[in-house]
Structures are given as structure tokens and as C-alpha cells.
Amino acid sequence: MNVPHFMLKEIHQQPDVIRHQLDRTISIGIPDRINILACGTSLNAGLIGQFLFEQIAQIPTQVRSSSESLSAPLLETPNTITIAITQSGETADTIAALQQVQSKRVAITNGIDSTITRFADHTIYTNAGEEKSVAATKTFTSQIVLFYKLAFQIAHENQKLSDREFASHLESLKQIPQQMEKLLNENTIVELAQTLKETRDLIILGSGINTAIAVEGALKLKEATYTHAEGYAAGEFLHGPIALLDAEIPTLAIVTEDDSRIQKTIDRIRAHGNHVIEITAKSVPELFSPFLAVVALQLLAYHLATLRGIDVDRPRNIAKYLTT
């Protein structure tokens, strides 16, 4: 594919990255508690993992920024599993945080034989291929597809999912690459980016599992476009942050097939005369909607950055990973 930037190329590689994960069987056993350590985009992937482990596998799960866990470690039990996520395997804070852990250590990384692997009892590679753009895209989706597979596997092993439910979830996962490709072939995101070219502040709302995608989408817009974007849980947005809204601050809302929870917030925003743009992910079950919602927001960040003349592969002030 002949594309002008690595970021766009890597966004378009995501369906195949997911396909390569589908036939893998991965298992970490059945812990009584899961702790997740990560930074940046990997931290947002960890939030998806938390939702899946708790809601599907019914395992209590905590997520903490690696840098914060150095001074405030997560509580551990003898049967806790700690998962450290880092796309490079060289993130200094995550490596240091994992070294403090006393429980079983699992690393999820794209960095083959990277430093993090030396401190883990078990490593799961994302196998996303080299990612050259500073803004992580395909490594994020490769991380979350592993969380889906891990959560489904644990839930099946501890009898929270029946054989039929387990097979159905895996079959739904197999449909994601095709649905992603349909989205990637549409022009609606390009048109949306044109309407937002002069926007300097954005709100992104999600609900349930897509709260993490709202936060990740906001991070992509910050990194790639220098837009002040904030992601919120839709219900929580009504408890104070709604005061931010005015005619100059548009709201993006991730809407799924079951949009009743977020619709209340959308209606409230519109009742105040403010603009809401819906990012729809209705072509798949809500549980799997993050894959489509995040691609839409990645594309928005890319096209908005290029409209503003920003070098999207090398945004100012940030590096691909922090080793100090």
C-alpha cells in the first residue's frame, strides 16, 4: 500500500495484525486477582483488559500507571498475576515497576527479546511488526486482541463461559478484521476532519468498555494534532465537566448497538444547544465495538494532523518510548 505516512500505513495494517492473532491459544492460568501496569497507550489497553477480566472472566483487576506504582504499588495476593504492557519492551517506568512485583509476572510486548522479557516469568508477544510512527496504533489493537483472548480463555477455564458462549465470542472476534476494512474504505472520517480543522478543544465520550477508547482517542488527538482533547465516561461527564461546553467545543460520542446509556448524555448536551458528533460502531456487538471506535478515532487524528501540516510520524516533544 502506497501511503504518505507510517501512521496511516500502520492504521491500515490493523485488520491483518488481528488476523494473525486469531488462531493463537494463550493462557495464564486462573488467578484470583490481576494487576496491570503500563504507560500511555498501553495503559489504555490495560483499561480494556480490566473491563474484560472483570466483566467476562469475573476476576478482580486493578490498573495503575507504571510511574505511579513505583510509589504506590498495587496490592498482591499469593495467586495474583501482574501483567506489564509495553509496546517496545524498553519503557523504563514499566520495567522498574515490574521489578517490584512479588507475584507471577507476565509481559505483553512487541519487542522481541526486549529488556522487559528478562524480568517476566512469561512473555506474550503481540507480533504486530515494527511500528515506526510515534503514535501507537497497530500495537494498541494487537494488545487489546490479546486481552480479549486471555479473558475469554480464563472465563472458559473457570466456567464463567460455556463452550457455546466461548465459541461464539471467538467467532465474533474473527469478524472484526472484515468490519475494520469496511471502515477503512469509507471517507466519512476525512470529511469530519475537515469540519474540525480549526478546533482546538474536543470532548470524547464513551460508555462501558468504550470509556477506555474515549481516553485513547483523546490521547491520539493530543499526540498527533496538538488538540486539547479529553476523554470521559458519558455518565460521569454530567457530574461537572459538562460545564466546559460552549459553541467552540464539539463533543464526539462513541455510539454502539446498545446506546441507551450514552444517549442520555447526548440528549443533555444537545438540550443545552451544543454540538455532538456521533462515532458509530453499530455493525458489531457492543463488546467488540472498541476495535471499530478506535480505528475511527485514529483516522480522525491522522487526517486532522495532515490538514494542519503536522509531521504526524514525528510529533513534537515525544519519542516512541521513554528509556529514562
Q: Please tell me the predicted confidence (pLDDT) of residue 318.
A: 79
Cα–Cα distance between 65 and 36 in angstroms, integer?
8
Q: Are residues 138 and 36 in the same domain?
A: yes
Q: Please tell me the predicted confidence (pLDDT) of residue 254.
A: 97
Q: Please tell me the predicted confidence (pLDDT) of residue 1.
A: 59
Beta-sheet pairing, 122-125 with 104-109: parallel
Q: Please tell me the predicted confidence (pLDDT) of residue 3.
A: 78
Q: Are residues 195 and 147 in the same domain?
A: no
Task: Say if residue 319's pLDDT is above 80.
Answer: no
Using an 8 Å Cβ cutoff, are 110 and 88 in contact? Answer: yes
Query: b/e per residue, 167-176, with b = 16+ CB within 10 A?
Result: eebeeebeeb
The count of domains in the chain is: 2
Q: Please tell me the predicted confidence (pLDDT) of residue 322.
A: 59
Task: Say if residue 324's pLDDT is above 70.
Answer: no
Number of Cβ within a 10 Å radius of residue 78: 10
Number of Cβ within a 10 Å radius of residue 243: 6
Task: Say if residue 152's pLDDT is above 70.
Answer: yes
Last residue of a domain, one of 141, 174, 207: 174
Cα–Cα distance between 78 and 3 in angstroms, integer?
50
101 within a domain of the structure (yes/no): yes
Q: Please tell me the predicted confidence (pLDDT) of residue 282.
A: 92
318 within a domain of the structure (yes/no): no
Of 50-59, 150-159, 251-260, the one with minimum mean pLDDT is 251-260
Q: Are residues 208 and 137 in the same domain?
A: no
324 within a domain of the structure (yes/no): no
Q: Are residues 40 and 69 in the same domain?
A: yes
Q: Please tell me the predicted confidence (pLDDT) of residue 258.
A: 79
Q: Are residues 228 and 273 in the same domain?
A: yes
Q: Are residues 10 and 150 in the same domain?
A: yes
Of 7-11, 123-127, 313-317, the one with minimum mean pLDDT is 313-317
106 within a domain of the structure (yes/no): yes
Number of Cβ within a 10 Å radius of residue 84: 30
Residue 214 identity? A
State the pLDDT confidence band at 323, using cuts at 50, 70 and 90: low
Task: Say if residue 2's pLDDT is above 90.
Answer: no
Q: Are residues 163 and 194 in the same domain?
A: no
102 within a domain of the structure (yes/no): yes
Q: Please tell me the predicted confidence (pLDDT) of residue 67.
A: 95
Q: Are residues 62 and 152 in the same domain?
A: yes
Compute, in degrees rounded to 10, the torsion defined by CA atoms 226, 200, 87, 285: -160
293 within a domain of the structure (yes/no): yes
User: Cα dihedral sign for 43, 47, 48, 49?
Assistant: positive
Task: Say if residue 105's pLDDT is above 70.
Answer: yes
- Residue 29 CA to its chain's centroid (Å): 24
Q: Are residues 97 and 188 in the same domain?
A: no
| Grid cell listed for 272 | 443545552
What is the span of the domain harbouring residue 219?
181-307
Q: Please tell me the predicted confidence (pLDDT) of residue 247.
A: 87
Burial bucket for residue 75 (CB in 10 Å: 0-12, 13-18, 19+): exposed
321 within a domain of the structure (yes/no): no
Q: What is the radius of gyration, based on Cα positions, of the chain?
A: 19
Q: Please tell me the predicted confidence (pLDDT) of residue 315.
A: 85
Last residue of a domain, one of 136, 159, 174: 174
168 within a domain of the structure (yes/no): yes
Beta-sheet pairing, 276-281 with 33-38: unpaired
Q: Please tell me the predicted confidence (pLDDT) of residue 143.
A: 98
| Grid cell listed for 84 | 506489564
| Grid cell listed for 170 | 471467538
Point out which residues pair with 281 in neighbouring strands.
256
For residue 83, which of 30, 121, 41 has the smallest C-alpha distance?
121
Q: Are residues 271 and 298 in the same domain?
A: yes
Domain containing residue 228: CATH number: 3.40.50.10490
Q: Please tell me the predicted confidence (pLDDT) of residue 320.
A: 62
- What are the backbone angles phi and psi of residue 32, rounded to the nearest 5°? -95, -5
Last residue of a domain, one of 131, 147, 174: 174
Q: Are residues 141 and 224 in the same domain?
A: no
Q: Please tell me the predicted confidence (pLDDT) of residue 321.
A: 63
Cα–Cα distance between 202 and 71 in angstroms, integer?
32
Average pLDDT, the chain: 95
- What are the backbone angles phi and psi of residue 126, rounded to the nearest 5°? -80, -20
Average pLDDT over residues 272-277: 92
For residue 148, which of 255, 287, 10 has the smallest C-alpha distance?
287
Question: Which percentage of the chain shows pLDDT scores above 90?
Answer: 91
Q: Are residues 253 and 140 in the same domain?
A: no
Question: Which percentage of the chain shows pLDDT scores above 70?
Answer: 98
Task: Say if residue 156's pLDDT is above 90.
Answer: yes
Task: Say if residue 60's pLDDT is above 70.
Answer: yes
